[in-house]
Structure 1
Amino acid sequence: MIGDVLKRMRIIYGYKASEMSSELGISASYLSEIENNKKQPSLDLLQKYADIYGIRLSSLILLSENMEEAEKSGKGTAFIRNMMAHLIQNMSAATGDPDEE
């Protein structure tokens, strides 16, 4: 579900729930409902997430779809590990981390 992906990305990027809700312009309770898959975010809200993370909306949606498929096939944990490693690598490249050169 998209809420799982959004929550994991928030944590990976180092945002507290209160910070993310403020960035998105939504209440903390609404963010919690999204992250716990009780509410589905609108496309406009997903675009805000994509902007915050510096990715395309289509990439965010594809990531969610791929994660759902991986979880159904029993490969969810491996998918999450790979996703986290890829995100960390991208973040290091974006910040010019000297360890990555």
Structure 2
Amino acid sequence: MLNEALRLVRVFHDLNKTQVAERVGLSKSYITELERGDKKVTIEVLQKYADGFNIPVSSLMFFAEQADGAPAADRVRTAVAGKVVKMLDWIATVTADDPDEGDRHGEKVRQAR
């Protein structure tokens, strides 16, 4: 469910409801109602979370699918996998900024032989 996915995002980032409310531009009470399932999660809410946590809306949808009936270990594994992918993307971006990085790595490998 989407409400569980939003709660998992908050818990994963170790934030309280007030901090999430400030980050996504909603009230704390609205966050509480969303997480409890008292309010329906709209596409606008998903976009606010996506913007606030710098993740694609599709990832929130994926987390919702995984959270729906999945064991707790699987939910944690899914959340961690998402972070690992973001970290690898960041590493690729950082190393792409240095065009000589690949050459130096290749040179080190050649020297080691």
Specify whether residues 27 and 36 from structure 1 end up closer, same or farther in structure 2 by C-alpha distance, changes over 3 A only. same
Deviations 1:9-33 (A, max 9, x none): 1111122210111222221111100
Runs of 4 or more, structure 1, over 3 Å off, are 90-96
Aligned mates of 2:79, 2:65 — CA distance in 1 = 16
Task: Give the AA of the match of 2:76.
Answer: R
Count the aligned residue pairs: 91
Identity across matched positions, percent: 24
Deviations 1:66-98 (A, max 9, x none): 321xx1xxx4223212123224434655777xx
Deviations 1:39-63 (A, max 9, x none): 1122111111012222211221122
Question: What TM-score do you get using the length of structure 2 for normalisation?
Answer: 0.66
Q: Which residue of 2 aligns with 1:61?
A: 61
Of the structure 1 ranges 11-20 and 78-87, higher mean CA displacement relative to structure 2 is found in: 78-87
Counterparts of residues 1-101 of structure 1 (less than 5 Å): 1-68=1-68, 71=69, 75-90=70-85, 93=88
For structure 2, the 5+ residue unaligned runs are 92-113
Question: What TM-score do you get using the length of structure 1 for normalisation?
Answer: 0.73
